[in-house]
Amino acid sequence: MTTIGHFLSNKPWSGSSDRNGDIFNPATGGISGRVLLASKQDVDAVIELAAAALPCWAATPAAKRATVMFEFRDLLKSNIDELAELLSAEHGKTIPDAKGEIARGIEVVEFACGIPHLLKGEYSESVAINVDSYTVRQPVGVVAGITPFNFPAMVPLWMYPVAIACGNTFVLKPSEKNPTVVLRIAELLAEAGLPGGVFNVVNGDKEAVDALLDNPKIEAVSFVGSTPIGHYIYSRGTANGKRVQALCGAKNHLVVMPDADMDQVTDALIGSAFGSAGERCMAISVAVPVGEGTADRLVEALEPRVRALKVAPYTDPTSELGPVISKQSYDKIRNLIDQGLEQGAKLVVDGREISLQGYEDGYFIGGCLFDNVTTDMSIYKEEIFGPVLAVVRAGGYEEAVHMINNHEYGNGTAIFTRDGDAARDFWARVRIGMVGVNVPIPVPVAYHSFGGWKRSLFGDHHIHGMEGVRFYTRLKTMTSRWPSGIRTGAEFNFTGGKDA
């Protein structure tokens, strides 16, 4: 059985703790390995090493830091097949989903390759007589990332390439449910030429998280995960004087206008609601058709497509829907489906009774489609994080907009329509951080920034793009004045000699 440890100063490290946790294969429900869980002493030791590596790395020219990022990008590309296999084996998502995840992470590495340009400051000449003013961006210091199970490669890659390129050192605490791909990527970063101590990985649970939040040498913390945990991390981290960005839960709506292309809408919903088994914060979990006729046509088009989804482990190349990550997630999703039925929703497609020969103990749930869902039901209000799509019928466009704005989450949304006026009004008025127009999953490209509004984000900065650069740097402004008049004589001797 494989044991996964930590990664310290460019090499594996076991730490001093004797605690460990099981790693499960979600397709079989069996234990596939174990992960060492860091103690507070382990975390503090890693932070000390990262702090020791900081001065030299922060003083390294930005162009040289970018050279490491270029090499890292090439290694990720050349090893993507191996990385996808490691990722899928522990997460359960299909190989195409895994490769897509890694590719989105690589985009952020490519963005970080441009750090010499991104760190350029501003200069104002003669803000007063013989006085100039200019700005620079300097690294924050030792920073930490706490990342979720659903994108074990991509989400960390949204954090540490930008942080490291800006001159910080980094401590990553990934999900203990699927840590293997993170450790392999850390090896590639070391191979790319990153000095020891600049990037480190500690596996752990709440003890490790609290140690990161409490250690005074950690200057900033990035988090992606559920809203309750995000609120905890933001509150505890900021109380300890740290800069914190916490990207949290979601309930993403897709509005279907009467003039929308229904074939396009159906394709979009199949991918966005059921891809990666619905385990992503940008999944569309609520379809909002405007008008009864639109709703009837949408459900009629969706039903056979949802029923036809191929549920299988990632080792089956025809798989479209793999298992969810854990027994805990499996039970939560089934419980919410049961609540939806009890509260009066119509379960058009029931994926609860999936049973695969040889994988009877796996955490498989087939695609589920609810109709006649109302906004007071738990399947509407709560983030399900599974392959469940709820159809909430809206009587008109204004009702649909009100529904979205009234929800506690504000991560992503989309509208499908041929009407440019409706689309513009929609994106201008919805209180959501990321909006798609005829695009079901409006995840920004790497040189823009990702983040929601309301209870989907705690903190002032979104992740990656220029918001990431701002989060991982501090702005310093200089104002300088030099004595007036041009000096003459030996003081201007640049021709050589004993004073040169």
Q: Which residue has the higher pLDDT, 355 or 274?
A: 274
Catalytic positions are 281
2-248+456-479 has which CATH code? Answer: 3.40.605.10
Give the span between the Cα atoms of 91 and 252, in whole angstroms.
23
Beta strands in 184-277 (DSSP E): 199-201, 218-224, 243-247, 252-256
**In this structure, what token pair is assigned to residue 172?**
């990553």
pLDDT level of residue 20 (50, 70, 90 thresholds): very high
pLDDT in tens, 378-408: 999 999 999 999 999 999 999 999 999 999 9
Average pLDDT in the chain: 95
For the residues of 50-68, what is the DSSP string, one character each? HHHHHHHHHHS-HHHHHHH
pLDDT in tens, 450-495: 999 999 999 999 999 999 999 999 999 999 998 876 665 555 444 5
Which DSSP symbol is given to 136?
Answer: E
Predicted pLDDT at 484 = 73
Q: Where are the domains of the chain?
A: 2-248+456-479, 252-437
**In this structure, what token pair is assigned to residue 104?**
């989105």
pLDDT in tens, 97-153: 999 999 999 999 999 999 999 999 999 999 998 899 999 999 999 999 999 999 999
Mean pLDDT value of segment 246-256: 97
252-437 has which CATH code? Answer: 3.40.309.10
The sign of the torsion formed by the CA atoms of 282, 287, 290, 293 equals positive
Using only C-alpha atoms, the chain has a radius of gyration, in whole angstroms, of 25
Look at residue 487 and give its three-state secondary structure: coil
Asked whether 4 and 36 are in contact (CB, 8 A), the reply is yes
| C-alpha dihedral, 185 to 474 to 248 to 433, nearest 10° | -110
- Is the pTM for the entire model greater than 0.85? yes
Predicted pLDDT at 497 = 47
* Contacts of residue 89, Cβ cutoff 8 Å, sequence gap at least 6: 25, 32, 180, 314
pLDDT in tens, 199-236: 999 999 999 999 999 999 999 999 999 999 999 999 99
Asked whether 1 and 288 are in contact (CB, 8 A), the reply is no
pLDDT level of residue 282 (50, 70, 90 thresholds): very high
